[in-house]
Amino acid sequence: MSGNVNPYKNSDRSKREQVEQMFDTISKEYDGLNRVISFGIDVKWRKKVVNMVAATQPKRILDVATGTGDLAINLAKTDAEKIIGLDISAGMLQVGKDKIAAKNLSTTIEMVQGDSENLPFEDNYFDAITVAFGIRNFETLEKGLAEILRVLKPGGIFVILETSVPTKFPFKQGYGLYTKTLLPLIGRIFSKDRDAYAYLSESASVFPYGEKLNNILRKTGFTHVEDHPQTMGVATIYSASK
C-alpha cells in the first residue's frame, strides 16, 4: 500500500514528517508545476468535485490535505458558511493563505495546520469533506479515513479526487511511460527537490484505486460508495456517505 512509499528513501523520519518536509520545500513551485504536469486537466476534475459537494448544500466543509488551497477556494462556490482547509505543511498553507486573501475569501476559508490522521475537530461536525490528491500521502490510510468518518455528519458527503492507473491500451502504456520517465524528469529540471516528484509518481503507481479503494472505504464504515474514473482513468473521483 502507499504507506510503503516514502519521499526520501534514506531518511529515518516517519512518512508524515517526510511528507511535511517535502511539501514545505516545493510549496512555492507546486502550483505552477502541477499545472504543467497535469496539462491543466486537474482544474476540470476539481470543478466536478465542487458540483458534487454543492448539490448537498453544505454549511460546513473540510478540505483535508488542502495544500495551497485550490479546492478549498473552488468550494467557496457552494455558498458554504465555513470552509476549513487542513494540511501538515506550513509552507503550502502560507501560499494558500495568500491566494485566499487575494480573492477576499479569508472570512469564509480558514487554513489550519494539522494531521489528517488526528483531526482537531469534534465528532459529526462537517456536512462535506473533500481530499484532492492527498489521500495517498496519509501515513496510515485506514486511520486517516476513520478520522474523516468520525468528523463527518451522518448523511454527509465525502469526495476524494486521486490519481489512478488506466487499464486499457494504449492509455495504460502511455501513462506508465509518462509517470516513470517524463514526470521525474520534469521534477529534476524544474524542482529544487528532485526526490519529491519521483515520490509523487511512485506513490500514485502503487496506491489502491477503483474497487480496491471502494472496498477500503466500505470496510472503514462509509456507505453509498461510488467511483467515477476521469480522463481515460488517469484520475478517479470517489463519493461516499455516512
Beta bridge partners of 240: 158
Beta bridge partners of 130: 63, 159
Residue ranges making up the domain that contains 70: 2-165+207-241
> What residue type is 70 in one-letter code?
D
In a domain, 191, yes or no: no
CATH of the domain at 99: 3.40.50.150
In a domain, 114, yes or no: yes
What are the tens digits of pLDDT across the range 94-124? 999 999 999 999 999 999 999 999 999 999 9
In a domain, 173, yes or no: no
**What integer pLDDT is reported at residue 53 of this predicted model?**
98
The b/e string for 41-63 (b: 16+ C-beta within 10 A; e otherwise) is: ebeebbeebbebbeeeebebbbb
- Whether residue 136 contacts residue 162, with contact meaning beta carbons closer than 8 Å, is answered with yes
In a domain, 227, yes or no: yes
What are the tens digits of pLDDT across the range 122-168? 999 999 999 999 999 999 999 999 999 999 999 999 999 999 988 87
In a domain, 159, yes or no: yes
In a domain, 67, yes or no: yes
Domain count, the chain: 1
What are the tens digits of pLDDT across the range 57-81? 999 999 999 999 999 999 999 999 9
Question: What pTM did the predictor assign?
Answer: 0.92
For the beta carbon of residue 217, count every other beta carbon within 10 angstroms. Answer: 24
**What integer pLDDT is reported at residue 4 of this predicted model?**
67
In a domain, 56, yes or no: yes
- Whether residue 146 contacts residue 121, with contact meaning beta carbons closer than 8 Å, is answered with no
In a domain, 57, yes or no: yes
